[in-house]
């Protein structure tokens, strides 16, 4: 079956994107895609590091004085 994305495949994808979107919109699309990937990675890191639900509650409470 070979490699999924060979250099020629990437060239064809780039040419098709250039024909569909035009050279003026490609930088904006690339920026949006990069920001989306960055946000997705930050979200995944946030989910992995926020295991607060599994930790016991260690806050101290004082009884009310009457």
Ranges of each domain in the chain: 7-44
Spatial distance between the Cα atoms of 42 and 56, rounded to a whole number of angstroms = 25
pLDDT of residue 26: 86
Helices within the chain (DSSP H only): 7-21, 26-49
Convert the pLDDT of each residue in 6-65 to its tens digit.
889 989 988 998 999 888 888 898 899 999 999 999 999 887 665 555 555 566 666 666
pLDDT of residue 60: 64
Long-range contacts (CB closer than 8 Å, 24 or more residues apart) made by 3-12: none
* Phi and psi torsions of 58, nearest 5°: -110, 15
pLDDT of residue 4: 76
Query: pTM of the predicted model, to two decimals?
Result: 0.49
pLDDT of residue 5: 75
């Amino acid at each position: 079956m070979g490699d999924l994305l060979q250099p020629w495949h990437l060239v064809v994808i780039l040419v098709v994107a250039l024909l569909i979107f035009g050279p003026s919109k490609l930088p904006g699309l690339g920026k949006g895609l990069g920001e989306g990937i960055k946000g997705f990675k930050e979200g995944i890191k946030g989910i992995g590091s926020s295991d607060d639900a599994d930790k016991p509650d260690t806050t101290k409470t004082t009884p009310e004085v009457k």
